[in-house]
Structure 1
Amino acid sequence: MKNTSLLLCLFVSTLLFSFSLTMASEPKAYMVYMARAPDGVDPVTYHLNALSKVFGSEDAAKSSVIYHYTDVVSGFSAKLTPEQAEELKKVPDVTGVKVSQPYSLYDPGQQL
């Protein structure tokens, strides 16, 4: 009986640990801030070049992009795993990588 309880406890612990690792690696929306593209370089191409260094191909980079920001700021939003986000931080001209946080301009339950 004692061995059965110990095996069950070990099994549940292993299951919970593997679940937490899986959840940590799921892609989330990230905001990626970059330096402005050099004169004459298309900003979208500039963004995809940086993202391709993490994904290994331009097609994979394109499929992860949610939106390109080119007017007021330079950057993009993309679906990334936490590991990919860390790798992207090392790419030259990337100035910041943060998990995207949705905000509402109006929330009736929010106190001002």
Structure 2
Amino acid sequence: MEIISKILFLFFFLLPILAASSENQVYIVYLGGHKGDKEVHEIEQFHHSYLASVKETEQEARASMLYSYKHSINGFAATLTPDQASKLSELEEVISVFRSHPMKHEMHTTRSWEFVGLEEGIKTTQMHSHTAGMTQGLLSKAKYGHNVIVGVLDSGKFLSSCFI
């Protein structure tokens, strides 16, 4: 009986903690452009002040900050509850708050020929001679890529920041 009461105690003690942690999701808080009047460390402190206004402690605010955008945009990514995100969005200085969907985007291939459809075209020309003129014509007109510089296709994903 004593074991059952301990298990029930732990269950009811841990249940609110587990429920609270499952509500936390990654949000992007956008504050507009930089005015150019603050140093990088000041911008990060500024971002922390927003989190401190919706979190219970300064320590919790610091722990929830995932990334501080300090250069091209003014904003930050943080773990927030929907209620905290709503409170932040009501602040006058906040332009928008939106939930990040890390699984929404997928990484693109690094196999350029397949990515632009040329690898498939070469394989099909070997099987279907009636389409050979179209695909082989494009490749031969382009001299099979001789002296061509392939540009970078930036999908906006950075491997170390999977939350964006």
TM range (shorter): 0.5 to 0.7
Say if 2:26 and 2:99, in contact at 8 Å, map to a contact too: yes
Runs of 5+ consecutive residues of structure 2 not aligned to the other structure: 1-18, 111-164
Q: How many residues align?
A: 86
TM-score by length of 1: 0.65
Q: Which runs of 4+ in 1 moved over 6 A?
A: none
Q: Which has the higher contact order (CA 8 A, sep 6+)?
A: 1
- Is 1:27 the counterpart of 2:29? The answer is no
Structure that is richer in helix per residue: 2
Secondary structure, counterpart of 1:77 in structure 2: strand
- Cα deviation code 1:52-101 (max 9, x no counterpart): 11114322211111111111111111011111100111123111100002
Structure that is richer in strand per residue: 1
| Aligned-residue offset at 1:107 | 6.0
Alignment RMSD: 2.4
Secondary structure, counterpart of 2:23 in structure 1: coil
Alignment of 1:1-112 (within 5 A): 26-36=23-33, 39-40=37-38, 42-102=42-102, 103-106=105-108
Separation in structure 2 between the aligned mates of residue 28 and residue 107 of structure 1, nearest angstrom: 28
TM-score by length of 2: 0.46
- Cα deviation code 1:21-80 (max 9, x no counterpart): x59x71001111013466236110111111111114322211111111111111111011
Runs of 5+ consecutive residues of structure 1 not aligned to the other structure: 1-21
Secondary structure, counterpart of 1:60 in structure 2: helix
Distance change >3 Å, CA 63–CA 78, structure 1 → 2: same
Report the equivalent of 1:5: none
Greater C-alpha Rg = 2
Separation in structure 2 between the aligned mates of residue 37 and residue 58 of structure 1, nearest angstrom: 24
Separation in structure 2 between the aligned mates of residue 37 and residue 57 of structure 1, nearest angstrom: 27
